[in-house]
Amino acid sequence: MKRQSLALLLGSLCAMSAFATTYVRVEKDGTKTYSDRPIPGGQPVDLQPAQTYSAPPVSTSSQGSREADLLRRTDDFRYTSCSVTPGNDETFHSPESVTISVSMNPPLRGNDFVTLTVDGQAAQPGAMSYTLSPAYRGTHTVGVTVKNSTGQTVCSSSSVFHIQQPGLNSPGRQVPSRR
């Protein structure tokens, strides 16, 4: 019981000292001595309240409302569809080239930017179509990403297509006829 009373007494003294006046005395050598009790030759320290900051009021003018509405509509915009051709798992047999194109609904907005990639590499910046030539055999990945003026992705799509080119010794290879 004595320990609990002592702890309670010490806690209340600490709390009261936090609200107590602080005194300062300047010594002959210029050093300062601080105390929470009056000291001979000491003066009470006038503590100013902490500096605070109040944000300016939000403008409710019609101009501010129009700008906020425009930003909200820009952030919420999405294309209803976007796709890249050739379609997924489409196969080409012995092509010299393959045309890759992007389609979207609604059409591309003026401030949006298209990035078309072929096998992980950017094709032509801002291009809506690209011709892969020569068309090497194998599996190829194409993708499109459309970003708005703030850099937010508003549309993306990808597909994988295959190019088959029979070898010279392939049994299914057509030999050109000689006349």
In this structure, the answer to whether residues 156 and 81 fall within a common structural domain is yes
Residue 111 lies in a domain: yes
- Residue 62 belongs to some domain of the structure: no
Q: Are residues 35 and 84 in the same domain?
A: no
pLDDT at 140: 92
* 57 in any annotated domain: no
Q: Give domain status of residue 97, yes or no.
A: yes
Q: Indicate the pTM of the whole model.
A: 0.52
Regarding whether 138 and 86 lie in a shared domain, the answer is yes
22 with 86, same domain: the answer is no
- Let me know if residue 102 belongs to a domain: yes
pLDDT reported for residue 165: 82
Do 81 and 156 share a domain, yes or no?
yes
Place of tokens 């009470």: 44
pLDDT value for 107 = 86
In a domain, 49, yes or no: no
Report the Cα 54 to chain-centroid distance in Å. 29
Please indicate, yes or no, if residue 21 is contained in any of the structural domains. Answer: yes
- Statement to judge: residues 36 and 85 lie in one domain: no
What per-residue confidence (pLDDT) applies to 29?
A: 93
- Could you give the 3-state DSSP secondary structure of residue 75? helix
pLDDT of 11? 56
Q: Tell me which residue range forms the domain holding 13.
A: 2-44
Please tell me whether residues 35 and 100 are part of one structural domain: no
Low-confidence ranges of the chain (pLDDT < 50): 15-17
Give the separation between CA 22 and CA 131, rounded to whole angstroms: 81
Q: How far apart are CA 142 and CA 159, in angstroms?
A: 6
The continuous run of DSSP H or E covering 169 comes out as none
Q: Say whether both 10 and 90 belong to one domain.
A: no
CATH number, domain containing residue 158: 2.60.40.10
Q: 175 in a domain, yes or no?
A: no
Burial class (CB in 10 A: 0-12, 13-18, 19+), 86: buried
Q: Are residues 35 and 82 in the same domain?
A: no
Count of domains forming the chain: 2
